[in-house]
Amino acid sequence: MTVNQIQEEIINEFALLDGDMEMTVFYIMELGQKLPDMPESEKREENIVKGCQSKVWLTAKMENGIVHFSADSNTAITKGLVSLLIRIYDGQTPDSILQSELYFMHKIGMERFIGTQRSNGFAAMVKQMKLYALAFKTKMEVRYE
């Protein structure tokens, strides 16, 4: 599925909650619980996303031109938010990650329930994922020159 197809799927899921803030927050926390466990060995200082108030660990690897992400957080809501990003970006090519425009947050009204600090942290997570994609893309281009 493309980045936009996954975003549309997320928008449709959140539409079922009909703007109910409490249900939306519970749903985000539930999504975080479904995130695959990150090995403790990866929860190192160099894997912490800078700019997040909560602790967020994020790693990436590339196999056969496809990027795979792993993440965890020490707070339930933030873990849910990073799980949404992983759902969108995991399994994509570096180019599709770099060229993507995320719009699902506005369509689901995310700013209503996460506040400024978490919005900044969310932006930092997106930036880190795009930086990983850029690094992988650059590495691929260098290899083929």
Question: From the first residue on, what is the mean pLDDT of each consecutive set of 10 residues in the chain (145 residues)?
Answer: 97 92 92 94 95 91 96 94 97 97 92 76 94 92 63
Residue type for position 8: E
The b/e string for 79-109 (b: 16+ C-beta within 10 A; e otherwise) is bbbbbbbbbbbbebbbebbeebebebbeebe
Q: Is 52 a catalytic residue?
A: yes
pLDDT of 143: 62
What pLDDT is stored for residue 120 in this prediction?
Answer: 86
DSSP string, 58-113: EEEEEETTEEEEEEEESSHHHHHHHHHHHHHHTTB-HHHHHH----HHHHTTTHHH
CATH topology of domain 3-143: Sufe protein. Chain: A (3.90.1010)
| Catalytic position from the list 38, 52, 114, 125 | 52
Domain locations along the chain: 3-143
